[in-house]
Structure 1
Amino acid sequence: MKDNFSKQADAYARFRPTYPDEAFDFILSTVKAKDAAWDCGTGNGQLAAKLSGHFTSVFATDISEKQLGNAVKRDNIQYIVASAEENSFTENQFDLVTIAQAIHWFNFDNFYAKVRSVLKNDGIIAVIGYALLEIDEATDKVVQKLYTDILGPYWDKEREYINKRYTTIPFPFDEIKSDQQFAQIMKWSADDLMNYMNTWSAVQHYIEKNNSNPVELIAEELHRTWGNDPKKNIRFPTLLRIGKSLKQRPGA
């Protein structure tokens, strides 16, 4: 598992989008019991905080101690520095395992073996994330210029899983699908958007190699395209895969 976000942990906590309540409610509707949940790759604890209002105990892990230092604090959340594949959780411990915008960094085989072990018989795994943002045609072109033309070579290969909207990740579970397409809407200024883009791992890779910030290359064009609107709706399409462990199949 890679750690691409410790350097910008504070900005990550402030500017990363949240997840739509409708998607979260759908995840909860698939879970029979709500005793314990594990939020893996929790980052700044966004999803762990939501889970804490519904589960007796929430265990949230991440390999970045700096990320956890910026995480949302709740009495029933226990934050642990640990990898997705190697930790001290025990068999049949969790009703739900969630992974928010992180599954593409994991060793799939090792992680899924761990998930099958720690999930209870009726346990659920929920993979959630968000695709590249959408605003309007003109502004989207500027975002694409940064995302593809400037940063294309600087994205880790795992980013392709998000470009494919998690449809190509291995998912060896009995899948539960929703008929609804979810999305999170944020109301941001142009500066908010640039602050968010500064949290991209590819931006950090670019800075490390070139000693300059690529977001500045599109800043003037972005503000010109933005126009006079103080804030605009920023749409993040939700990525969602939900399933039950294969061990729950009859005879498995």
Structure 2
Amino acid sequence: MAKLFIKQAGLYAEARPSYPPELFLFIASNTPNHGLAWDVGTGNGQAAVSLAGIYRNVVATDTSPTQLALAHRLPNIRYQLTPPSMSLDELTQLVAPQSSVDLVTAAQAIHWFDLPTFYKQVKHVLRRPGGVLAVWCYTKSYVDDAVDAVFHRVFERSIHFSPPECKLISDHYINLDFPFDPIDGEEHTGPFTFESVVLMDLDMYLTYIRSWSVYQNAYQKGVDLLNKQVVRDFENAWGVNEIKPVRFPLHLRIGRVGGKNF
């Protein structure tokens, strides 16, 4: 996963949307304790920073040193470089001891993971009872009819360069294997829908598109999804020097770990 984002790490930090406070408040309201959160695949720490405002301590891990170098530092966040695979002993040394974590999160990341290994790690570190896993993704952005029409053409073309893992995002994580119990008061583990709204000018919007791993995949194969004609089409649709709200639907899967130690 790390290799996918090394080249566009700066773009990712600059233009990826942040996540709405309502998302974290909903998640936190379902964790009885707010001591320690583990943000997996943290990238540049977007989710970790929000978690740090709720949980006393956050450990934020990634396999990419390039991404971690761009992460925003806070006193109660420990950023940790981890290998692509970890034994349970390494997990204890690098992340946290068994049954010590209140919340595990993965923002726009779990579709890249080896799920059986990841879930074994999650069940090892989460507190019992009460430990929660929350994972989410965002899908196609929306601006207005004119911009969305150009975006749709780019998005449809990008599908030809999309890795199979991204199908889980297209399905809003509905088909994600998620072997956890529903949180209290819910009959299922989601997806639950939220929305992030980011004010962008056109340059930032195009930077966001260039931060896609699929954009980089296409570019490496000689296809620029934002060639001169496409950029002109976006310019005509966007308008001159305009700041527009860009809406990103978020889809959350959330569940509790069972009562016995794994």
Give 1:229 deviation, angstroms. 6.5
Residues 100-122 of structure 1, C-alpha deviation per residue, up to 9 Å, x if partnerless? 00000001111011101110011
Q: How has the CA–CA distance of structure 1 residues 9 and 33 changed in structure 2, closer, same or farther, with 3 Å as cutoff?
A: same
Unpaired segments ≥5 residues, structure 2: none
TM-superposed deviation, 1:155: 1.0
The whole-number CA distance in structure 2 between the counterparts of 1:184 and 1:67 is 22
Distance 1:163 1:73 in 2: 32
CA distance in 1, matches of 2:192, 2:103: 21
CA RMSD of aligned residues (A): 2.0
Unaligned runs of 5+ in 1: none
One-letter amino acid of the counterpart of residue 238, structure 2: W
- Give the corresponding residue for 1:132: 140
Aligned to 2:101: 94
Separation in 2 of the partners of 1:196 and 1:96?
29
Match 1:158 to one of 165, 172, 176: 165
Looking at structure 2, the residues matched to 181 and 202 of structure 1 have their Cα atoms a distance apart, in angstroms, of: 24
TM-score by length of 2: 0.89
Shift of 1:135: 1.4
Distance 1:13 1:172 in 2: 31
- Residue 33 of structure 2: aligned partner: 33
The alignment partner of 2:5 has SS state of: coil
- What are the within-5 Å matches in structure 2 for residues 97-136 of structure 1? 97-121=104-128, 122-136=130-144
In structure 2, the CA distance between the partners of 1:179 and 1:152, relative to structure 1 (3 Å rule), is closer
Q: CA deviation at 1:175?
A: 2.2
**Contact 1:40-1:84 at 8 Å conserved across structures:** no
Aligned length: 248
The 3 A distance-change label for structure 1 pair 208 and 107 is same
Q: Structure 1-normalised TM-score?
A: 0.92
1:141 alignment partner AA = A
Identity of aligned residues (%): 35
- Would you say the 8 A contact 1:175–1:241 is kept in 2? no
Residue matched to 1:145? 153
Residues 244, 49 of structure 1: CA spacing in aligned structure 2 closer, same or farther, 3 A cutoff? same
Q: d(CA) in 2 for partners of 1:83 and 1:164?
A: 29
* Distance in 2 (alpha carbons) for counterparts of 1:32 and 1:144: 42
